[in-house]
Amino acid sequence: MSRIILINLVRFVMLVLLQVFLLKNISLYNLSVPYLYILFILLLPFETPNLVLFVLAFILGLTIDAFYDTPGLHAAACTLLAFVRIFFISITVQKDGFDNEPEPTLSIMGFRWFFTYALVLTLFHHFFLFNLEVFRLSEITYTLSRFLSSSIFTVFLMLVSGLLFFRKKERK
């Protein structure tokens, strides 16, 4: 149990540092900004209690808010992401028979499931975050293009990190 906590603590720190010191400065044509830090919430073990999940998501969002000068935007989006994660996992994990798997990684769950999981949750997070950031309908086309391009960029980085850092395991 302490091994899982240590792994997730290191993952939290590494993703926050990566987001703040590297990815914050990456922007493609001021349109696409990757938010890879949400991978922390996505990779938490399945048996994480809902209350702990919401608290961790809120703390992650507040940490990113502190570095981005966005009071509460990332915290709200991460809390929504935790809610959508619970709903998505309750639908797909029981249906597909992944009950014995410890965490939703690319190597354990397979490419198709993880891609769908990462895409759906990233779309929810980014849509909420960018609409909350702009908060006006006059810039809806710019907001939608930012939301879509940033989501694609973020999911691409998630898949690349999943292929680089996770070893292949055989599912039973």
User: Residue 137 falls within a domain, yes or no?
Assistant: yes
Task: Residue 116: give the domain boundaries.
Answer: 2-165
Question: Residue 129 to residues 72, 133, 134: CA-CA distances in angstroms?
Answer: 10, 6, 9
User: Residue 77 falls within a domain, yes or no?
Assistant: yes
Q: Report the sign of the C-alpha dihedral through residues 116, 13, 80, 4, in that order.
A: positive
Q: Report the sign of the C-alpha dihedral through residues 153, 158, 162, 164, in that order.
A: positive
What integer is the mean pLDDT of 121-146?
Answer: 91
pLDDT of residue 113 exceeding 50: yes
User: Residue 170 falls within a domain, yes or no?
Assistant: no
User: Residue 171 falls within a domain, yes or no?
Assistant: no
Question: Residue 19 to residues 45, 108, 112, 114, 154: CA-CA distances in angstroms?
Answer: 22, 25, 26, 21, 11
User: Residue 60 falls within a domain, yes or no?
Assistant: yes
How big is the CA angle at 112 (ends 109 and 117), to the nearest 5 degrees?
Answer: 75
User: Residue 172 falls within a domain, yes or no?
Assistant: no
Mean pLDDT, the chain, integer:
88
pLDDT of residue 1 exceeding 60: yes
Residue 19 near residue 36, CB atoms below 8 Å: yes
d(CA 72, CA 61): 7
Residue 93 near residue 46, CB atoms below 8 Å: yes
Estimate to the nearest angstrom the gap between the alpha carbon of 21 and the chain centroid: 18
pLDDT of residue 56 exceeding 80: yes
What integer is the mean pLDDT of 13-31?
Answer: 89
Query: pLDDT grade, residue 5 (50/70/90)?
Result: confident
Higher pLDDT, 81 or 94: 81
User: Residue 138 falls within a domain, yes or no?
Assistant: yes
Number of domains in the chain: 1
User: Residue 39 falls within a domain, yes or no?
Assistant: yes
Query: pLDDT grade, residue 97 (50/70/90)?
Result: low
Which residue has tokens 């950031």? 133
